[in-house]
Structure 1
């Protein structure tokens, strides 16, 4: 496992950034950097299961490990979904963490991903644009 980290400064409150990240409509917008038409099924409650899907019903399923509103969200990725069918994977501690830290200028958003080598290039390519999308939503649309 390798830990990748991406950070962006956002001129908005942590509440606005949080809403941009997890509101159903804005989630679809910022995650389009990964796959057009991305959406989720489930609730953000701790220990609940979430499905992160594309329009063809492919994606991944995860457990919400931590939900501290306006501060921290952590998922543990458990497996992939192919055509709607969950396929568990032995990814160990493949987590995705979003940290929001209030600053004098607004909010610093830190995304930390523990991933296997097979996904590193994808994240390196897509995450900077995804965080730019969150910034634009937080500063301009909410």
Structure 2
């Protein structure tokens, strides 16, 4: 397992950066860094299940599912993954099960530092570095243009 960390300063209040990152419409824009057509189902409240999905050629979707273990609005979100989704069906376990992904929003004088920290299986690390680097830049761009 490898721990990855990404950080970017965004010229916008934390509440706005939060809304851009977690709002479904803007999520779909920046999550294209992972796969075009990426989306999520579920919610961001503590205890809720969430599924991060991308389309397959056959019309089904695949991705990961987990639970929101902590949510402090406009400050912090933590996700614990429970397994993967293959062709629309949840499969508990697998390489992502038990891993965490955290988002922190730290505002100082109207500038928000967005920090993304995640645990990934070693074999995913290189791909995730590239995708998250692109994704965090897209979040910054979207948050600063509105």
Q: Same fold (TM over 0.5)?
A: yes
Aligned equivalents of 1:93 and 1:8: distance in 2? Answer: 26
Q: What SS is found at the alignment partner of 1:36?
A: coil
Q: Are positions 1:31 and 2:68 aligned together?
A: no
Does residue 76 in structure 1 map to residue 117 in structure 2? no
Q: 1-side partners of 2:14 and 2:40: how far apart?
A: 22
Greater shift, 107-116 or 91-100, is seen at 91-100
| TM-score normalised by the chain length of structure 1 | 0.94
Going from structure 1 to structure 2, the CA distance change for 1:19 and 1:131 (only over 3 Å counts) comes to: same
**Equivalences for 1:12-51 in 2 at 5 Å?**
12-51=12-51
Decide whether the 8 Å contact of 1:93 with 1:114 is kept in 2: no
Could you tell me which runs of 5 or more consecutive residues in structure 2 were left unpaired when the two chains were aligned.
none
Match of 1:97 in 2: 102
Alpha-carbon distance between aligned partners in 1 of 2:136 and 2:97, rounded to the nearest angstrom:
25
1:85 to 89, 94, 97: 89
* Distance (Å, rounded) in 1 between the aligned partners of 2:70 and 2:33: 24
User: How far apart in 2 are the matches of 1:98 and 1:129?
Assistant: 16
Distance 1:17 1:40 in 2: 18
Number of residues of Structure 1 aligned to a counterpart in Structure 2: 141
For residues 110-139 of structure 1, what are the alpha-carbon distances to aligned partners after superposition, in whole Å with 9 as ceiling and x for unaligned? 000011102101111111110011001111
The change in CA–CA distance for 1:92 and 1:36 in structure 2 (over 3 A counts) is: closer
**Secondary structure of the structure 2 residue equivalent to 1:77:** strand
Task: State the 4+ residue runs in structure 1 displaced beyond 6 angstroms.
Answer: none
- Supply the RMSD in Å over aligned alpha carbons: 1.2
- Give unpaired runs (5+ residues) of structure 1: none
Q: CA deviation at 1:105?
A: 5.3
Deviation at 1:43, TM superposition (A): 1.4
- How far off is 1:104 after superposition? 3.0
Corresponding residue for 1:5?
Answer: 5
